[in-house]
Structure 1
Amino acid sequence: MNARADPPAHFRRFAAIDWSGARGQRHRGIAVAVAQAGDAAPVPVPPPGGCWSRQAVLDWVLLHADAPMLIGFDFSFSAPFLDRAAHLPGEPFTEDAPALWRWVDRNSTDADLGAAGFVDARRGLHVYGGAADGQKAQFLRYRRCETAIAATGRSRPSSIFDAVGAAQVAKASFAGMRLLDRLRGIVPVWPIDPIPAAGALIVEIYPALAVRAAGLGRGKLRSAAVLDQALAAMGSAPHAPLARYDDHSTDALLTAAWLRANAARPPLWSPAGLTREIAQTEGWIFGVE
């Protein structure tokens, strides 16, 4: 699996989607940005009705399924598997990431592709939601791509089973799996599916990689000047002023530019630690070499 692969050459648009697992129908935590091939600044995609829903994002991706677009989503595409030979030990066995997506979707009843109920029902079993659940460390399982990032010393992604705090990714990731299940067979997902010769492809992104690549460490992009500085590091022209500089919008803009700047790098399509088993069961974060 980690043999050298030629990067796909047909992409002309690069989209980054800052995702949300919040309850409800509309989510200010979702932002979509697109960069065209070249060096023009990425632009935000206006949400229908003034605020994105997860269903609206799904509809947008379906609308662009045949477009030459690389689409990055900021959530974990799977749960750890290799450490315990199961995603959710004790529940019906899911042999690969798509089987996990089906299981999550079939067992979630939240509105707008949400998965908060799925996560809450597993507190103390798989998910850490607070001190009443026991020792936090026993819940913190990680995928191989996440341990690869941690090994660099530059960042440590959150565990999908840690549901505490504003930085938690549990509800967003399981909600994202519901979306991926709805896209199965329509838009391929790397590295689970073969890279297509035409049309869209979905990858998992980690905006912290783009922020670090821009030379900002763990900095936040909360001003026009800092955002333009980061975009310039990606070879991008300055952006058009935004109505509001929040982490969701700026992360999406920068990561779209980062995808454009890095999509042709062969090492990112053939990471040293990526095996076929890892690809099928846990997925991989695009950008982790």
Structure 2
Amino acid sequence: MKPGRFRHFAAIDWSGAAGERHHGIAVALCSAGGDAPELVRPGHRWSRPEVLDWLLTELPDSSIVGFDMGISLAHADAGGFFPGWAESPATARELWALVDRVCAADTHLSASSLVDHPEAARHFRRHGGREGDLFGGGRGRFRVTERVQEAMGCRPYSNFNLVGAAQVGKSSLTGMRLLHRLEQRLPVWPIDPLPETGSVVCEIYTTIAARAAGRRTGASKIRDYADLGAALIALGSEPVAGTGAITDHAADALITAAWLRQAAHDPALWSPYGLTPEIAQTEGWTFGAA
């Protein structure tokens, strides 16, 4: 890892909710140094296609972009994403293509058609007590990187679980549609190797950033400027100006952008134990899980 490899650090709190525009999407950006991170288009209610367009047309050069979503599904535990389904893809990129193809008629990069697909639905836990016969029971199936997160003291959720306020399954599926539409114009680590120059997209888990800022796993969410300022200072950043309440989505993005500014230059985080070539191509990884 070259010193100064990245010059800009972006974090995106993502959403899998229905509809066109989402309170749950926040985009934060900071540059090298110690200046406070800033929200991109503060007050704007983003759509998912707008985020895709921003990545392709406005992202500063030499950026690392962290998405708070799962970039793939569990594969190693069962030898496939959807065991028993003839169309189960072999790689993460093929998974993204499948999700986008099945959901082609779903507007706003949503992904309801996949979870309602008669074969895919067998693997998901859905609202209304609908649990597919291949969901696996309990907390569901986990990727290798999510088991590493557990060992770190985090509380990850299975991407096959679509129920509950803390689930990330829906946002992961909608995110896969976005990743497919990047069409390799931006590399996605570790599915793509880290390039020597230019920008790269990766998966992040905002709890990892919050823990690095001194927050406890069970109290990682921040909803006021005072706590946000303390967290940013702990990450070597100037605090964001403001008082009173702030949404936890905005706070997550701001803190994670500041954390990326520190963490992105740590060579060990780009070569975590357990990240084999096969895992990189199928399950991907969460940057910072080590």
Which residue identity lines up with residue 211 of structure 1 in the other structure?
A: A
**Count of aligned residue pairs for this structure pair:** 282
Partner SS, residue 104 of structure 1: helix
Match of 2:129 in 1: 131
Identity of aligned residues (%): 49
Q: Establish whether residue 105 from structure 1 lines up as the match of residue 104 from structure 2.
A: no
Measured after TM superposition, the shift of residue 66 of structure 1 is: 6.8
> After alignment, is 192-201 or 101-110 more displaced?
192-201
Match of 1:53 in 2: 47
Q: Establish whether residue 119 from structure 1 lines up as the match of residue 115 from structure 2.
A: yes
Partner SS, residue 15 of structure 2: coil
Deviations 1:75-124 (A, max 9, x none): 00000111111112233131110000000000002211111332233675
Match of 1:281 in 2: 282
CA distance in 2 between partners of 1:242 and 1:20 (Å): 26
Which residue identity lines up with residue 141 of structure 1 in the other structure?
A: R
Cα 1:140–1:205 change in 2 (3 A) is same
CA distance in 2 between partners of 1:238 and 1:128 (Å): 40
Measured after TM superposition, the shift of residue 248 of structure 1 is: 0.4
Contact 2:8 2:60 in 1 (8 A): no
TM-score w.r.t. structure 2 length?
0.91
CA distance in 2 between partners of 1:134 and 1:43 (Å): 42
> After alignment, is 10-19 or 243-252 more displaced?
243-252
Match of 2:271 in 1: 270
Measured after TM superposition, the shift of residue 35 of structure 1 is: 1.0
CA distance in 1 between partners of 2:253 and 2:192 (Å): 24
Cα 1:279–1:254 change in 2 (3 A) is same
Which residue identity lines up with residue 240 of structure 1 in the other structure?
A: A
- Equivalent residues in 2 for 1:1-289, closer than 5 Å: 6=1, 9-46=4-41, 50-64=44-58, 67-91=61-85, 92-108=87-103, 109-121=105-117, 125-129=122-126, 130-133=128-131, 138=137, 140-152=140-152, 154-217=153-216, 218-219=218-219, 220-241=221-242, 244-289=245-290
Partner SS, residue 125 of structure 1: helix
Contact 1:190 1:283 in 2 (8 A): yes
Contact 1:8 1:197 in 2 (8 A): no
Deviations 1:28-73 (A, max 9, x none): 11000001100000000006x9310000000000014671100000
Partner SS, residue 99 of structure 1: helix
CA distance in 2 between partners of 1:243 and 1:46 (Å): 20
Measured after TM superposition, the shift of residue 160 of structure 1 is: 0.6
Contact 1:204 1:286 in 2 (8 A): yes
| Structure with larger RCO (C-alpha < 8 A, sep 6+) | 1
Partner SS, residue 125 of structure 2: coil
Structure 2 unaligned blocks of 5 or more? none
Measured after TM superposition, the shift of residue 244 of structure 1 is: 5.0
Measured after TM superposition, the shift of residue 242 of structure 1 is: 6.9
